[in-house]
Amino acid sequence: MGDTLAQKLIRAHLVCGEMVVGQEIGLRIDQTLTQDATGTMAYLEFEAMGVPRVRTERSVAYIDHNTLQTGFENADDHRYIQTVCKKHGLYFSRPGNGICHQVHLERFGIPGKTLIGSDSHTPTGGGIGMLAFGAGGLDVAVAMGGGTYYITMPRIVKVELTGKLSPWVAAKDVILEVLRRMSVKGGVGKIVEYAGEGVKTLSVPERATITNMGAELGASTSVFPSDDVTRQFMAAQGREADWVALAADEDAVYDEVITIDLSALEPLAACPHSPDAVKPVSALAGMRVNQCCIGSCTNSSLQDMLKVAAILKGKTVHPDVSLSIAPGSKQVYNMLAENGALADLIAAGARILECACGPCIGMGQSPNSAGVSLRTFNRNFEGRSGTADAQVYLVSPETAAAAALTGVFTDPRTLGDAPVVTMPEKFLLNDNMIVLPAPVEEADSVVIERGPNIKPFPKTAPLADTINAKLMLKVEDNITTDHIMPAGAKILPLRSNIPAISEHCFVRCDPEFPARCKREGDGIIVGGANYGQGSSREHAALAPLYLGIKAVIVKSFARIHVANLINAGILPLTFKNEADYDKLTLGDELCLPDVRRRLMMGEPVVLENRTTGQTIELCHTFSGRQIDMLLAGGLLDYTREQQA
């Protein structure tokens, strides 16, 4: 019995554990990436570990999220990260160089290597055959120090692609179809591996759109084979020497198989407020549109931009639509400028933004009240755009450009001939916005510069013998990290200041939550299924930690968030019987009796509701390592204990 591609990549990096579905395995990490919104905290954690120089093959810090500088905070964080990179041996991608996932694919990613990044869309690297995971900042800090990265051995799902995309149908429509079929929790505990004849019809940027949005399935990661298309992309980036061919064995056995006929797909849209609420664009045709935004790490490649430029060329954006465009990288931007496509975009009336995350994370371009916004992005969670009642639809660049011209949802297939865009033989290579680290012998003299907004990691404590706490918040299914720790232009500058950012924790669900935590002391959060879906931001664990949350008890968790809770020393537990969720009410006095000893002895953990007198059985799937981490008070304390 042969291996799937994902199994081959795991086997080649396996440090410990057995490749048995559901068991914890440890992986050697070749590359790491961070972005600025999670990076400051990750580097504070890295510094706390006391490792002088990163021990990976390549670690890169990108500045792409917090680029709107309305105060000193973001610029201070950029400077802090730049000095850390210089001292500790990391490459630094300056603001203006582009979105981490796009730039990493272009300039650093290598087929067959492992990559973890403090951003949930790190699986973009799967587009060139990398085994790439989104992770919390602490996990990335540990990997930078040469430590192992732990995951639960996933089930491997094969998505067999047949046929070829029709004109006007895009890679975005492929992943929206996968989301329609699997849902936002359908990928939990799985790696999605693409295979079949249809693969070779997709370019690397198209594959990267698909692996990027595997994050929205809740999947551990997604991966494409590395083939001749990959080789040509690497060669065009001047990096053919880094290319290797990679594919599953002929007789590989998968846990699940899905078949998608590319030829049968049509333009699709994810409707408000979930990436899996997918409908055909034709069914939405005619609906008025207020805004179109093209860009983000999902759809900002040169290929995407050239298609949009061809659609807009010689035309004018509809008077009732605001169209913003953010190319994904300086390479893309520069090539658009050189070949004249940028002029076509400007002439049509597009609002051209810097190459950064921008509107995708609510950094500007919030839609008008109740505005309908068509975005080529990957998340349309309620309120994420910065406008609470905006109606955000996720669509392909083709569909967004069509609506920008007509002012209404338009099936792009009604616009005549589709633009044909070919991949360049050579990309424009100019890495002048990547700053190299100081040589080892000079590293000691590099001074790390910290702004006044940078505050230390919150206090942790070893797990108590018994936890007595109040039910501080009760929430429903599919709570995203954007609910727990909102982003946007006003809150993101506080990412390096946990006391300040915690004032915004959960305010979209309950504005009283932070004040209540401060007033009442220790707390427990109760939630539904798929709790913590979305981003990798560890702030969604660190802010609750700062506010005294000791445990989170839910029906089920999203992968990265549960790891972040354990890293922060907060107990993530699930109901043995989901109906017990209904037995708990805000304000109940709760107790986890004898929880420390029970975890140590492998005995079941129970929850006593002192207000109603009921006892509720709980579950967990902690590994021995995770229990040790929780007992110690989180990953930082555990690592210090190990070092001692």
Closer Cβ to ligand MIC, 395 or 553, answer by number: 395
- The residue of the chain with the least Cβ separation from ligand MIC equals 535
Q: Tell me, residue by residue from 194 to 233, as one string, x for binding to ligand MIC by CB under 6 A and - for no binding.
A: ----------------------------------------
Instruction: Work out how close the CB of 376 gets to ligand SF4 at its nearest, in angstroms, rounded to a whole number.
Output: 10
When CB distances are held under 5 to 8 angstroms depending on the partner's kind, the choice from ligand SF4, ligand MIC, none that residue 45 binds is none
**Phi, psi of 459, deg, nearest 5:** -70, 140
Q: Which is nearer to ligand SF4, 81 or 551 (CB)?
A: 81
- Whether 486 contacts 504, CB under 8 Å: yes
Q: Is there binding between residue 378 and ligand SF4 (CB under 6 A)? A: yes
CB nearer ligand SF4, residue 64 or residue 411? 64
DSSP string computed for 110-124: -TT-EEEESSTTGGG
Classify strands 467-474 and 523-526 as parallel, antiparallel or unpaired.
parallel
Q: Of 285, 293, 283, give the one whose Cα is nearest residue 321.
A: 293
Q: Which amino acid is at 535?
A: S
- For position 121 contacting ligand MIC by CB under 6 A, the verdict is yes
Scanning residues 105 to 124, which ones bind ligand SF4 (CB under 6 A)?
119, 121
For the purposes of burial, counting CB atoms within 10 Å of the CB of 434, is it exposed (0-12), middle (13-18) or buried (19 or more)?
Answer: middle
60 binds ligand SF4 (CB under 6 A): no
Question: Under a CB-based contact definition with an 8 Å cutoff, are residues 454 and 44 in contact?
Answer: yes
Question: Shortest distance, CB of residue 492 to ligand MIC, whole angstroms?
Answer: 8
Where are any strands of DSSP class E within 17-123?
24-27, 31-34, 58-62, 91-93, 114-117
Query: What are the strands of the beta sheet with 58-62, ordered from one edge?
Result: 131-134, 114-117, 31-34, 58-62, 91-93, 434-435
Instruction: Find which of ligand SF4, ligand MIC, none residue 296 binds, CB within 5 to 8 Å per kind.
Output: ligand SF4
Please, what is the minimum distance in Å from the beta carbon of residue 128 to ligand SF4? 17
| Shortest Å, Cβ 431 to ligand MIC | 23
Neighbours of 320 (CB within 10 A): 11
What's the min distance (Å) between Cβ of 490 and ligand SF4? Answer: 16
- Sheet with 190-195, strands from edge to edge, namely 221-223, 190-195, 155-162, 256-261
SS3 412: helix
Tell me, rounded to whole angstroms, the distance of Cα 568 from its chain centroid.
Answer: 19
C-alpha to C-alpha distance for 239 and 492, rounded to whole angstroms: 35
Q: Read off the tokens for 492.
A: 């993101």
Q: Pick the stretch among 76-84, 116-124, 411-419, 467-475 that binds ligand MIC (CB under 6 A).
A: 116-124
Q: From CA 158, how far away is CA 260, in angstroms rounded?
A: 10
Residue pair 99/454 in contact (Cβ under 8 Å)? The answer is no
**Chain CA centroid to CA 179, Å:** 16
For residue 397, the SS3 value is helix
Candidate ranges 119-127, 284-292, 334-342, 451-459; the one touching ligand MIC (CB under 6 A): 119-127
One symbol per residue from 334 to 373: x for binding ligand SF4 (CB under 6 A), - otherwise; what is it?
-----------------------x--xx------------
User: Does residue number 33 form part of the binding site for ligand MIC (CB under 6 A)?
Assistant: no
Among 29, 260, 487, 543, binds ligand MIC (CB under 6 A): 487
Structure tokens at 400: 């967004």
CB nearer ligand MIC, residue 38 or residue 530: 38
Chain positions 357 to 416 lying near ligand MIC, rule: CB under 6 A, are 361
In whole angstroms, the minimum distance from the beta carbon of 493 to ligand SF4 comes to: 15
- Read off the DSSP letter of residue 173: H
> What amino acid is encoded at 557 in this protein?
F
Q: How far is the CB of 122 from ligand SF4 (least distance, A)?
A: 9
Taking the least distance from each CB to ligand MIC, the nearer of 120 and 152 is 120
Cα separation values, 48 from 327, 553, 639, Å: 36, 30, 10
Is 120 an interacting residue with respect to ligand MIC (CB under 6 A)? yes
Instruction: Name which of 332 and 501 has its Cβ closer to ligand MIC.
Output: 501
The answer to whether 73 contacts ligand MIC (rule: CB under 6 A) is no
Least distance in Å: CB of 239 to ligand MIC? 25
99 binds, among ligand SF4, ligand MIC, none (CB under 5 to 8 A by kind): ligand SF4
Alpha-carbon distance values, 130 to 71, 178, 180, 245, 247 (Å)? 37, 20, 25, 11, 12
Asked whether position 152 contacts ligand MIC by CB under 6 A, the answer is no
Measured between alpha carbons, how far is residue 149 from residues 135, 137, 441, 459 in Å? 9, 12, 29, 24
Residues 530-569 that bind ligand MIC (CB under 6 A): 534-537
Q: Which is nearer to ligand SF4, 377 or 531 (CB)?
A: 377
Q: Give the shortest CB-269-to-ligand SF4 separation in angstroms.
A: 18
Smallest separation (angstroms) from ligand SF4 to the CB of 487: 8
Cβ closer to ligand SF4: 540 or 599? 540
Decide whether 357 or 595 has the Cβ nearer to ligand SF4: 357
| Nearest CB to ligand SF4, comparing residues 377 and 427 | 377
- Give the bridge partners for 313, in sequence order: none
Residues 534-593 that bind ligand SF4 (CB under 6 A): none
Smallest gap from Cβ 445 to ligand MIC, in A, equals 31
For 269, the token pair is 């849209």
Residues contributing to the site for ligand SF4 (CB under 6 A): 65, 99, 119, 121, 296-297, 357, 360-361, 377-378
Q: Give the residues lining the site for ligand MIC (CB under 6 A).
A: 37-38, 65, 119-121, 134, 361, 487, 534-537
